[in-house]
Amino acid sequence: MTAAGGPIVAGVDGSAESLDAVRWAARLRDAPLEIVHALDVPALVAGGVVPPPEEMVDALRARGRRALRTAQELAAAQGVPEAAARLDPDRAAQALIGASRAAALLVVGSAGHGRLTSLLAGSVAAAVGTHARCDTVVVRGDSWDEPAAAARPVVTGIDGSDAGGRVLVAAVAEARARRAPLVVLHAWADTPPPHRDPRCVTEAGRRLLGERVLAHDTGDVAVEQVVVHAHPRRELVERSAAAQLVVLGDRGRGGFPGLLLGSTGQALLHHAACPVLLVRTTA
């Protein structure tokens, strides 16, 4: 999952969900762990020009240091005793995007049940998913750390875009590292293109998956190719309930920034029942 050279960065905001991100990141062990807490000082600048009282900033720093100490203690309990910790004065999205420039992987937590914590509230989730310079994991679900989760498959969604190849490479690597089966899904929308028989669309999807899988070294990974007549968002959300990880690209068909995140990806960020990996598909 991670690239050589950079740390795994986990964002914490003091919530239990952000500590899940630390626990998830600490299990990887193939890169140093850095824990970042954003103070969000710019939000306290009155009228955009008057800085907040220093006492208020000191209180934010004290709270941030407590959050970081708790996260470091949790990382140590997971077998990572030397996790680095850093306070960032910026807003959460800007702090995490900045950290992603030198990171191998960015890991954040979500609140589940459709509600995101302050770390990923509203536009912050879209900003991190769209603008992070590295792959991003959003840790979702209540059972990802149960022993039985290790037997669940990795699930990935592939469309006809050029980025699909990079997503498939990441999904195969994840399945191999976890010794898990891989489900490669192509779901086409409820209404086929004009003048196209649904059976022809399904067959075209099978050819697409077959060609993509054959073009990559899947090695000893057991790959199941699935083509369904359904909406990708609904199908992936449903399959996430029986998966240990869902792997998606950060772009959709056509390469428009945020397109996949804004539809399928955004749905998974809010409703997936397991962690979601957004693969960076652009330079």
User: Which of the four pLDDT bands, split at 50, 70 and 90, describes residue 46?
Assistant: low
Residue 253, pLDDT > 60, answer no
φ, ψ dihedrals at 231, nearest 5°: -80, 135
Do 147-279 and 8-139 have the same topology in CATH?
yes
CA distance 64 to 72: 12
Instruction: Indicate the average pLDDT of the chain.
Output: 83
Q: Where are the beta strands (DSSP E) in the chain?
A: 8-11, 33-38, 84-88, 105-109, 135-139, 154-157, 182-188, 223-229, 245-249, 276-279
Q: How open is the CA angle 108-186-150, to the nearest 5 degrees?
A: 45
Predicted local confidence at residue 208, as pLDDT: 81
Torsional sign, CA 162, 166, 169, 175: negative
**167 exposure class (CB count in 10 Å sphere: 0-12, 13-18, 19+):** buried
Q: How far apart are CA 171 and CA 163, in angstroms?
A: 13
Please tell me the least confidently modeled range out of 72-81, 143-152, 249-258: 249-258
What is the pLDDT at residue 31?
Answer: 92
What is each CA distance from 126 to 171, 177, 180, in whole angstroms?
A: 22, 28, 29
Rounded average pLDDT over 153-179:
89
pLDDT of residue 258: 40
Tell me what pLDDT residue 153 has: 98
CATH 3.40.50.620 fits 8-139, yes or no: yes
CATH class of 147-279: alpha beta
With 80 as the cut, is the pLDDT of residue 197 above it?
A: no
Q: Is 106 left (phi over 0), alpha (psi -120 to 50) or beta?
A: beta
Is the model's pLDDT at 115 over the cut of 70?
Answer: no
Rounded mean pLDDT, 154-168: 85
DSSP assignment of 256-281: -BTHHIIIIIHHHHHH-SS-EEEE--
Place of tokens 């824990």: 35
Q: Is the dihedral of CA 270, 2, 215, 149 positive or negative?
A: negative
Token pair, residue 40, equals 């969000």
What is the number of other CB atoms lying within 10 angstroms of the CB of residue 50?
A: 9
Of 132-136, 192-196, 278-282, give the range with the top mean pLDDT: 132-136
* Triad 249, 87, 265: Cα angle to 5°: 15
pTM: 0.86
Q: What is the rounded distance in angstroms from the CA atom of residue 186 to the CA atom of residue 91?
A: 37
Higher pLDDT, 203 or 184: 184
* Chain length of the chain: 283
Measure the CA–CA gap between 112 and 118, rounded to whole angstroms.
Answer: 12
Comparing C-alpha atoms, which of 112, 106, 118 is closest to residue 272?
A: 112
Instruction: Identify the sign of the CA torsion 241, 245, 250, 255.
Output: negative
Average pLDDT value for residue range 25-43: 90
pLDDT band at 192 (very low <50, low <70, confident <90, very high): low
Domain positions in the chain are 8-139, 147-279
Dist. CA 52–CA 44, nearest whole Å: 6
